[in-house]
Amino acid sequence: MQFTAEMIAGLLGGEVVGNKDATVATVSSIDGGKAGSLAYLTNPKYEQYIYTTEASIVLVDKTFEPKDEVKTTLVKVDNVGQCVLNLLEMYNASRPRKTGISKLASIHEGAEVGENAYIGDFTVVESTAKLGDNVQIYPQCYIGDNVVIGEGTKLYPGVKIYEGCRVGKNCILHAGVVVGADGFGFAPKEDGTFAKIPQLGNVIIEDNVELGANTCVDRAKTDSTIVHSGVKLDNLIQVGHNVEIGSNTVMSAQVGIAGTTKIGSNCFVGGQVGFADHINIGNGCKIGSQSGIDKSVPDGEIRFGSPALAGIQYHRSFAVFKNLPDLASKVRDMEKRLIKIEEK
């Protein structure tokens, strides 16, 4: 689908500087823009590219004044970042939606499938599963017994949802996600082997949750592992059994959460953070990348490092740590001087 500069300005309440009939059919970065693409300038560091970009249209703030000749058509708007988000959502909504149920899918006669569902090749839907209206299940997915999936939810290829788990409305589960595998529960025996502890609970994923590729959410030993509404998890994240993640919390890739840990709402967690088991993280906390969280954290706190320290304490400690070689050299020099003084 193509949009003209005039159409875009009308949609965003902007003004056109240049060719109002310039057309675009895709979106690009300003430094990689090609003819027929829409780019945008949100960071002043990239202003240099606006004079060389091949993009047909560039979104800029209304306050932007070029320092050199601009060959592309500009659309000036009040808030470039928000306008880009709006356009991306519109573009995504205009893409054709997959429909129909493949003859190569295996759907148990006891399963319920809502209206306008898409189910791709080699997907398996087991007995008593319930799929809501407008769900999209891409090829090679597995939906276990008694699973419930809410309306508008999308499962990309290779997603596996074990028996008894619940997924809410308008969720997105990317390729390779596993929901409901057994939690990591084993009891040591006298002979040095381990007895498996049955994992009898399930997983509940509420509405508007997005799980990145190859993320795993383990079922609870009893009760439920819960991912509350609006949570966004990146790729390759491990959520242990009986974990609870509060609403609108965001986590970057390779986070690991050990069993029974509770994480509050509206938290921001950097990549490769590790959470110990049976701790509580308050609401609104911020955890820096590669931190090791071995203790509970109160509401609104910031943590860095491994083991993690409070934000200010971490930065003060790091300021000392990075100077340790110089400090060690000074100490050795002082020791030599002290020896000479004592000899005298």
> What's the pTM value of the predicted model, to 2 decimals?
0.83
Catalytic residue, chosen from 174, 228, 241, 315, is 241
Q: In degrees to the nearest 10, what's the CA dihedral of 252, 203, 168, 119?
A: 90
* The residue type at 85: L
Amino acid letter, 274: G
**Confidence grade of residue 56 (pLDDT, cut at 50, 70, 90):** very high
Q: What is the DSSP string of 246-283?
A: -TT-EE-TT-EE-TT-EE-SS-EE-TT-EE-TT-EE-T
Query: Is residue 16 a contact partner of residue 6, using CB atoms and an 8 Å limit?
Result: yes
Mean pLDDT along residues 326-333: 84
DSSP string, 187-236: EE-TTS-EEEPP---EEEE-TT-EE-TT-EEPPPSSSEEEE-TT-EE-SS
Do 37 and 21 form a contact (C-beta atoms < 8 A)? Answer: no
pLDDT digits (tens, 9 = 90+) for 237-290: 999 999 999 999 999 999 999 999 999 999 999 999 999 999 999 999 999 999
CA dist 55 and 26 (Å) reads 10
Structural domains in the chain, CATH included, are: 3-94 (3.40.1390.10), 100-314 (2.160.10.10)
Backbone φ, ψ for residue 10 (5° rounding): -65, -40
Q: Give residue-wise pLDDT tens across range 90-127.
A: 777 777 888 899 999 999 999 999 999 999 999 999 99
Quick check: is 241 catalytic? Answer: yes
Alpha-carbon span 227 to 172, nearest angstrom: 13
Q: Judge whether 135 and 154 are in contact, CB under 8 Å.
A: yes
H/E element, 119: strand 118-119
Q: Check whether the bond before 188 is cis (ω within 30° of 0).
A: no
Task: Scan for tokens 């990689």, then name that residue.
Answer: 32
pLDDT at 156 over 90: yes
